[in-house]
Amino acid sequence: MKILEDRLYSKDHEWVLVSGSTARVGITDYAQDALGDVVFVQLPNVGEKFSAGSACCEVESTKSVSDIYVPIEGSISLTNAKLSEAPGLINSDPYGEGWIFELSLESSVSTKSLIDADQYRQLIEG
């Protein structure tokens, strides 16, 4: 399982890459592997504000439909439109072209609820 050191992770298997006041979010390699082949992604609405831990969209695979959660509080500022035509990008490149959405963050938003790569590795290895 690939786990990138430059990201933070949620216990719900989302990754977060914070850059200034923006956070890009996707699901981890572990999560996409557990889902199986992704066939549809219901993207969140740009402008919608979410609190940490709220379900904001769904990913449908050949096995199931899974909620995707917002790992930190913010407003949806951008979604990955490529996923509408090519949802399998989540499987083939979960940390790159398979990102799902970006959040606009307020300066007071904390990432303390997220874990680093080593802690995430421990979580999935149980």
Is residue 41 one of the residues assigned to a domain?
yes
Mean pLDDT of 39-43: 97
- For the chain, the domain total comes to 1
Q: List Cβ neighbours of 79 (8 Å cut-off, separation of 6 or more).
A: 43, 44, 46, 100, 101, 102
User: Over 80: is that where the pLDDT of 123 sits?
Assistant: yes
| 3-state DSSP assignment of residue 106 | coil
In a domain, 94, yes or no: yes
With a pLDDT cut of 90, the percent of the chain lying above it is 92
3 in a domain, yes or no?
no
pLDDT of residue 108: 77
pLDDT tens digits, one per residue of 48-102: 999 999 999 999 999 999 999 999 999 999 999 999 999 999 999 999 999 999 9
pTM score of the predicted model:
0.94
Question: How much is the pLDDT for 109?
Answer: 81
Distance between CA atoms of 52 and 98, rounded to whole angstroms?
21
- State the DSSP code for 108: T
Show the domain range for 103.
Answer: 8-125
Is 2 a domain residue?
no
CATH of the domain at 62: 2.40.50.100
* DSSP result, 50-95: E-TT-EEEEEEESS-EEEEE-SSSEEEEEE-THHHH-TTHHHH-TT
